[in-house]
Chain A
Amino acid sequence: MDLTDSSDGELWIMSRRDSRAFGELFERHADSVYNHCFRRTGSWSRAEDLVSAVFLEAWRRRNDVRLSGQSILPWLIAVSNNVLRNESRTLRRYEKLLRQLPRSSPKGDLGIDLDGRLDDERVMKRVISEIKSLRIEEQEVVAMCDWAGLSYNEAATALGVPVGTVSSRISRAHVHLRGQLRPEALNAASTKDAVDEDTGSK
């Protein structure tokens, strides 16, 4: 059976017998988890370590999985949030494994890539400092819905909370950040809130 044609749900079930299925899930969602971890930490190198840790943690908590439709990504993002909350403890748990992974050695123009990564990190750290004033739950839903592109339903399923809770957390976060948002972004956020209240999704 071709694993690339299988849905996340099928791969997740298969992964209990076939480790390659879990590898396929990793390949499918590693980039999304990587970027989510970067947006929460502001560091590409920490995000690299966290990706593997998130998948290992997901495997450890495989009995708690909550699939949203056929995608496992929302749940992986929720696991990422937990890993980020207990980052040092989780990394310590998987330290031995993570040490064996190669460090990033980008091919091509190392200087340009390094500059780009450093620029990204500077920008991201500034953004993170802006949202630090939010409660952690609000930061998480902003990262899940506004940045990772999950719908409110997907975020709610992954977090195990009602859609209304996600919606209200997002609204509170937007109101809190209103002073820091540009007018066009503010309008976009308000429009999105209105749509979500009607449909429960983005």
Chain B
Amino acid sequence: MNISQDLPSPRRVSSERMNAARRQLEYVISRRRRMWRWSWKPTLVVAVSVSMTVGGGIAIAASLTKGPIPLGSNGALELKDAPNFVSVVREGKIVGYVPRSDLIDNAVGSEVSQKIGAIEPVYGSNLVTLVGHLYPGIGFVRLGSSPKQVACEPIRVYEGSHTWNVPCSTSTVVVPELVGEYTPTAAATLSRLGLFVRVVYAYSKVIARGDVITVSSPSGTIVHARSVEVITSSIGPSAQNR
């Protein structure tokens, strides 16, 4: 037997089946092509949206200002001129930036940030990526690290021509008597002791406007340096009591 020469003669696919199969094939591949386009449409929309969001975010980030809070001619911090993101320095190097809105109270007439003492987010140089947090009394803690593992770093504070070091939290300080003091003076006193200060405001018939009504820790008590003291400052009597 010859396996090549004894083969049956070739046949043709019946025209009926050929036409039906051709129509069906054309339908299937055109439908699949439509499905392919369909399936990609939402993906494309999502991709474009993500690109626009990320791109927009980067564009917005590029237009924001960052850096240290500038000092005025008298050497005081010019909070109103603070950049959008304030630089955070650790061991002489900038490690990130804290949003101004998280750091500084925008209330008109406020001279001391009400937000000092809260845990603040710190972003990388692109102002988008979160790199860590600022902990009160500890400073910058990189993302993924525990604040307990961060060694205390002494802080040097400048105020005009005066310089002083803020001791670590192992140090303790005695809270002075500040009731009735002018609020900025009281805040400066506490800052010199190495305490963070937060100011809140309240009506008072007794204490003059701008003076301290109370401090969160009573005078004479011992507190850890770098802890937060809340000063309640008078804004005078309420309208009903005038």
- A residues apposed to B, CB below 8 Å: 15-16, 19-20, 22-23, 26-27, 30-31, 34-35, 38-39, 44, 48, 51-52, 55-56, 59, 97, 100-106, 117, 119-120, 123-124, 126-127, 130-131, 142, 146-147, 177, 180-182, 184-185, 189
| B residues in contact with A117, CB < 8 Å | 11
By the criterion CB–CB under 8 Å, are B6 and A123 in contact? yes
Kindly supply a per-residue 1/0 record for chain B positions 1-27, scoring 1 wherever the CB is within 8 Å of any chain A CB and 0 otherwise: 111111111111110111011111111
Query: A23 and B25 in contact (CB under 8 A), knowing A48-B17, A102-B20?
Result: yes
Query: A19 and B27 in contact (CB under 8 A), knowing A127-B6, A131-B3?
Result: yes
| B residues in contact with A130, CB < 8 Å | 1, 3
Across the A-B interface, give the 6 residue pairs with the lowest CB-CB distance, nearest first.
Answer: A120-B8, A185-B2, A19-B26, A19-B30, A35-B10, A23-B22
- CB B197 to nearest CB in A, in angstroms, measures 68
From B4, B16, B25, name the one whose CB has the most chain A CB atoms within 10 angstroms: B25
| A residues in contact with B20, CB < 8 Å | 100-102
By the criterion CB–CB under 8 Å, are B21 and A180 in contact? no
Can you name 11 extra interface pairs (CB under 8 A) apart from A19-B26, A39-B7, A55-B25? A22-B29, A23-B22, A26-B25, A59-B29, A97-B24, A123-B7, A147-B7, A180-B3, A181-B1, A181-B3, A185-B5
Check: B41 CB closer than 8 A to any chain A CB. no
By the criterion CB–CB under 8 Å, are A119 and B3 in contact? no
Kindly supply a per-residue 1/0 record for chain B positions 156-192, scoring 1 wherever the CB is within 8 Å of any chain A CB and 0 otherwise: 0000000000000000000000000000000000000
By the criterion CB–CB under 8 Å, are B4 and A147 in contact? yes
CB<8 Å pairs between A and B, sample of 12: A19-B25, A20-B26, A27-B22, A30-B13, A34-B11, A35-B11, A59-B32, A101-B20, A105-B16, A147-B4, A147-B7, A185-B5
Check: B28 CB closer than 8 A to any chain A CB. yes
By the criterion CB–CB under 8 Å, are B1 and A44 in contact? no
Check: B80 CB closer than 8 A to any chain A CB. no
Interface size bracket, B side: 20 to 34
Check: B205 CB closer than 8 A to any chain A CB. no
Q: How far is the CA of A30 from the CA of B26 in the complex (A)?
A: 14
Q: How far is the CA of A39 from the CA of B16 in the complex (A)?
A: 22
Contact of B3 among A15, A22, A35, A127 (CB under 8 A): A127
| A residues in contact with B24, CB < 8 Å | 52, 97, 100-101
By the criterion CB–CB under 8 Å, are B13 and A34 in contact? yes
| B residues in contact with A124, CB < 8 Å | 7-8
- CB A140 to nearest CB in B, in angstroms, measures 14
By the criterion CB–CB under 8 Å, are A31 and B10 in contact? yes
Chain A residue at smallest Cβ distance from B10: A35
- CB A82 to nearest CB in B, in angstroms, measures 18
Query: A22 and B6 in contact (CB under 8 A), knowing A48-B13, A51-B13?
Result: no
Chain B residue at smallest Cβ distance from A51: B13
Which B9-58 residues have a C-beta within 8 angstroms of A? 9-14, 16-18, 20-30, 32-33
Q: How far is the CA of A69 from the CA of B123 in the complex (A)?
A: 60
| B residues in contact with A30, CB < 8 Å | 13, 18, 21
| A residues in contact with B2, CB < 8 Å | 181-182, 184-185
| A residues in contact with B27, CB < 8 Å | 19
Q: How far is the CA of A119 from the CA of B29 in the complex (A)?
A: 36
By the criterion CB–CB under 8 Å, are B7 and A52 in contact? no
| A residues in contact with B14, CB < 8 Å | 104-106
| B residues in contact with A142, CB < 8 Å | 3
